[in-house]
A and B are shown apart, each in its own frame.
Chain A
Amino acid sequence: MRRVEHIMGFPISLRIDDGHTPAEAADAVFAWLHEVDARFSPFKPDSEVSRLDRGELEPGELSADLTEVLGLCEDYRVSTKGAFDVRLPGRGLDPCAMVKGWAVQRAADLLEAAGVRTYCLNAGGDVVAAGRPWRVGVRHPEHADQLCTVLELTEGGVATSARYERGDHILDGRTGRPATGLLSLTVVAPTLTEADATATAAFAMGTEGIEWAAARVGCEVFAVDADRQVFRTPGLPVAA
């Protein structure tokens, strides 16, 4: 079963390889992601994130979900010494970098809870997969139709941060300037929440982010710096 929908401005491709899958399992995935868009988008004035940013919500009034997301954001801000920061001076609260991986991982958890075993969910380039060896190509940072490596994973998340799709959108919170030290950085982790946040945070840090990400428990890294040099961890699951 394959299905593609566009939510939050990016394509979401779901593939389920189990013999019989109730359509409701896939429906639940897309319904959840629509809900996330409505609740956490900083671009929607009535979202919980926008209301919090305007001071309309007290800390005690936050949903458990947003409390969890903001707690994760704070962990990464401290761990990166401020390079990853969803509250930059002069800008509104923007937890998108954390929400995406967290929400797509939650969608995968919904599939698991519905009894789905063999699936691959790709949300605009962030992947969470389970059930069989999945071959995940990592897009070449300079050639859209080429790959720079192929990974194989049976369970877990893969996320890539780079400038080639949306330009200098990742800022180094320590300087407020666009992060330009890397062309692309990919993280493989047990969950997409970890993979996506680690990839974004490491990208914001620049070249020093490669070692920082590689030192995180459970994370494998593939990075291309501005000089086109590749750095990867020995445990990276490169396909044969």
Chain B
Amino acid sequence: MKRALPVLVLSIAGLVPVWLYEPSPATTSSSTSSTTTTSSSGSAGSSSTVVTGPSLTTEKGDVQVEVTFAGSKISSVRMLKQPHHPQTTAAVPVLIKETLAAQSADIDTVSGATITSGAYKKSLQAAIDARG
């Protein structure tokens, strides 16, 4: 119990910053107002509007975006400033989970583990090659 108590205190101390953490605007320490530029594009008289967002200083670094509107729709978003933080530079890849299925289908060729010349005769690829 004598040992458990400091551990408990330390755990709570460690949780405090998490409780206090709040995403923007609390972490924003400086900002400039956004600017808007309207330009007329050549086609069909529609106009595009470029809005530059305020520069936000987050604990990961400065973030600023530029959004281009075609009429009322967003046509592009560009990062003017982005933090060089591992979370933004190397995102965890998205993987789709499925169940293993067995199928046969009309194919041109087969990818598989390197097959030896001895095993080739009985392979699907040999059947495809023989079909001509």
Stretch at the interface among A43-51, A72-80, A222-230: A222-230
Q: A196 to B107, alpha carbons, bound, how many Å?
A: 21
Q: A159 to B107, alpha carbons, bound, how many Å?
A: 16
Main secondary structure of the interface of B (DSSP, over half): loop
- The verdict on B85 contacting chain A, using a C-beta distance below 8 Å, is no
Q: A234 to B101, alpha carbons, bound, how many Å?
A: 17
How many positions in chain B have a CB within 8 Å of any CB in the partner chain? 37
Residue of A nearest to B92 (CB): A211
Q: A230 to B98, alpha carbons, bound, how many Å?
A: 5
Do A137 and B111 have beta carbons less than 8 Å apart? Answer: yes
Chain A nearest CB from B118 CB (Å) reads: 9
Q: A32 to B98, alpha carbons, bound, how many Å?
A: 40
- The verdict on A146 contacting chain B, using a C-beta distance below 8 Å, is yes
User: Which residues of the other chain, B, contact A122 by a CB distance below 8 angstroms?
Assistant: 109-111, 125
How many positions in chain A have a CB within 8 Å of any CB in the partner chain? 58
Do A140 and B129 have beta carbons less than 8 Å apart? Answer: no
User: Which residues of the other chain, A, contact B114 by a CB distance below 8 angstroms?
Assistant: 10, 100, 124-126, 165-166
Chain B nearest CB from A187 CB (Å) reads: 10
- The verdict on A158 contacting chain B, using a C-beta distance below 8 Å, is yes
Q: A159 to B109, alpha carbons, bound, how many Å?
A: 12
One of B93, B94, B112, B129 near A2 (C-beta < 8 A): B129
Chain B nearest CB from A129 CB (Å) reads: 7
Do A125 and B112 have beta carbons less than 8 Å apart? Answer: yes
One of B90, B101, B104, B126 near A11 (C-beta < 8 A): B126
- The verdict on A201 contacting chain B, using a C-beta distance below 8 Å, is no
Q: A134 to B125, alpha carbons, bound, how many Å?
A: 14
Q: A150 to B119, alpha carbons, bound, how many Å?
A: 22
- The verdict on B13 contacting chain A, using a C-beta distance below 8 Å, is no
Knowing A10-B117, A164-B113, A215-B90, the reply to whether A137 touches B124 (Cβ < 8 A) is: yes
Which B residues have a C-beta under 8 Å from some C-beta of A? 90, 92-117, 119-120, 122-126, 128-129, 132
List 27 A-B pairs, Cβ < 8 Å: A2-B129, A11-B120, A13-B125, A13-B129, A120-B109, A124-B115, A137-B110, A139-B110, A146-B103, A147-B104, A150-B105, A151-B111, A161-B113, A165-B112, A165-B115, A166-B113, A210-B95, A211-B92, A215-B90, A228-B100, A230-B98, A230-B99, A230-B100, A231-B95, A233-B93, A234-B94, A239-B105
